[in-house]
Amino acid sequence: MLMRVLRRLTELGNTVVVIEHNTDVIAGADWVIDIGPEGGDAGGSLVFEGTPEDLVKCRTSITGQWLKTTAPKKTVRRKRAAP
Protein backbone atom coordinates (compact mmCIF):
# COMPACT_ATOMS: atom_id res chain seq x y z
CA MET A 1 0.00 0.00 0.00
CA LEU A 2 2.78 2.46 0.89
CA MET A 3 4.51 1.91 -2.45
CA ARG A 4 1.24 2.55 -4.33
CA VAL A 5 0.75 5.83 -2.48
CA LEU A 6 4.35 6.94 -3.07
CA ARG A 7 4.18 5.98 -6.76
CA ARG A 8 0.88 7.82 -7.17
CA LEU A 9 2.30 10.96 -5.59
CA THR A 10 5.23 10.95 -8.02
CA GLU A 11 2.94 10.23 -10.97
CA LEU A 12 1.07 13.41 -10.05
CA GLY A 13 4.36 15.33 -10.35
CA ASN A 14 5.22 15.54 -6.67
CA THR A 15 8.68 15.09 -5.24
CA VAL A 16 8.70 12.60 -2.37
CA VAL A 17 11.60 12.25 0.05
CA VAL A 18 11.55 9.10 2.16
CA ILE A 19 14.04 7.97 4.80
CA GLU A 20 13.68 4.21 4.71
CA HIS A 21 15.61 0.96 5.13
CA ASN A 22 12.97 -1.29 3.59
CA THR A 23 14.42 -2.86 0.44
CA ASP A 24 11.04 -2.77 -1.35
CA VAL A 25 10.98 1.01 -0.98
CA ILE A 26 14.64 1.35 -2.01
CA ALA A 27 14.19 -0.92 -5.05
CA GLY A 28 11.15 1.06 -6.17
CA ALA A 29 12.77 4.48 -5.78
CA ASP A 30 13.66 6.74 -8.69
CA TRP A 31 16.76 8.06 -6.89
CA VAL A 32 18.65 6.84 -3.82
CA ILE A 33 21.00 8.72 -1.50
CA ASP A 34 22.90 6.27 0.70
CA ILE A 35 24.48 7.79 3.82
CA GLY A 36 26.87 5.64 5.81
CA PRO A 37 28.79 3.49 5.59
CA GLU A 38 27.36 2.50 8.97
CA GLY A 39 25.32 4.17 11.69
CA GLY A 40 26.32 6.50 14.49
CA ASP A 41 29.95 7.62 14.61
CA ALA A 42 30.78 5.30 11.68
CA GLY A 43 28.25 7.02 9.42
CA GLY A 44 27.31 10.38 8.06
CA SER A 45 29.22 10.22 4.77
CA LEU A 46 27.76 10.11 1.28
CA VAL A 47 28.34 6.55 0.10
CA PHE A 48 26.21 6.59 -3.06
CA GLU A 49 23.79 8.72 -5.03
CA GLY A 50 21.93 7.42 -8.06
CA THR A 51 19.43 4.86 -9.28
CA PRO A 52 18.66 1.55 -7.56
CA GLU A 53 20.12 -0.20 -10.65
CA ASP A 54 23.45 1.51 -10.05
CA LEU A 55 23.24 1.10 -6.27
CA VAL A 56 23.45 -2.68 -6.56
CA LYS A 57 26.73 -2.23 -8.49
CA CYS A 58 28.30 -0.07 -5.77
CA ARG A 59 30.71 -2.28 -3.85
CA THR A 60 31.22 0.28 -1.08
CA SER A 61 27.50 0.48 -0.25
CA ILE A 62 26.26 -1.96 2.38
CA THR A 63 22.73 -1.06 1.29
CA GLY A 64 23.57 -1.77 -2.35
CA GLN A 65 25.10 -5.14 -1.55
CA TRP A 66 22.08 -6.09 0.56
CA LEU A 67 19.72 -4.98 -2.20
CA LYS A 68 21.79 -6.99 -4.69
CA THR A 69 21.21 -10.18 -2.70
CA THR A 70 17.47 -9.53 -2.58
CA ALA A 71 17.10 -7.97 -6.06
CA PRO A 72 16.01 -11.18 -7.82
CA LYS A 73 12.99 -11.13 -5.51
CA LYS A 74 12.29 -7.42 -6.01
CA THR A 75 11.66 -5.09 -8.90
CA VAL A 76 14.62 -2.73 -9.16
CA ARG A 77 13.62 -0.06 -11.59
CA ARG A 78 13.65 3.61 -12.42
CA LYS A 79 10.41 5.12 -13.71
CA ARG A 80 11.44 8.77 -14.07
CA ALA A 81 14.55 10.57 -15.18
CA ALA A 82 17.05 11.35 -12.44
CA PRO A 83 16.98 14.87 -10.97
In this predicted structure, what is the pLDDT of residue 81? Answer: 53
72: confidence class by pLDDT, cuts 50, 70, 90:
low
User: What is the torsional sign of CA 82, 74, 46, 13?
Assistant: positive
What is the average per-residue pLDDT within 4-29? 91
What is the average per-residue pLDDT within 2-11? 91
Q: What does the chain come to in residues?
A: 83
- Say what the pTM is: 0.77
